[in-house]
A = this chain, B = another copy of it.
């Protein structure tokens, strides 16, 4: 079309470990299930309510895929930026289905890890804010410096691309 924007921003937690498939060239394609939720008090009863929404995220961005594979696991909190994409597929009965996903294309999207369970005291001081590099950085995936060797898998589940189940 021209002049359009398609952007999704999520801050949420992984409902399970990342699922990693691998392209023939070794690049990872990572699927995440991310929960966001809202809480409110019912106006009538005063009861506390919560509604959780589940999102399917697909990471084609190579650098961000490696970060996801290496550092994320069930329960991790992340900031994710991607775009909406709906694809059509057929279930085993030949029924048409649509699935909408948040996609991080090659060289696009953002992934930032927001929890820091790991490592020491996580000090934080305006005066001494230098020098603390740990998990939790912004892996924009666009700087060559951020490339690192493919990890051995860690907590992520590996599946082959042929096993691809659409939802």
Contact = CB atoms under 8 A, between A and B. Distances in A.
A1 B7 contact: no
B1 A85 contact: no
Given A1-B132, A99-B98, A131-B50, A84 B41 contact: no
A158 interface: no
A156 to B, nearest CB: 16
A73 to B, nearest CB: 11
A150 interface: no
Contacts of A18: none
A116 B52 CA distance: 18
Interface of A: 1-13, 15-16, 33, 35-43, 46, 48, 50, 52-55, 74-75, 77, 79, 83-86, 95, 97-100, 102, 107-108, 110, 112-116, 124, 126, 129-138, 140, 142-146, 167
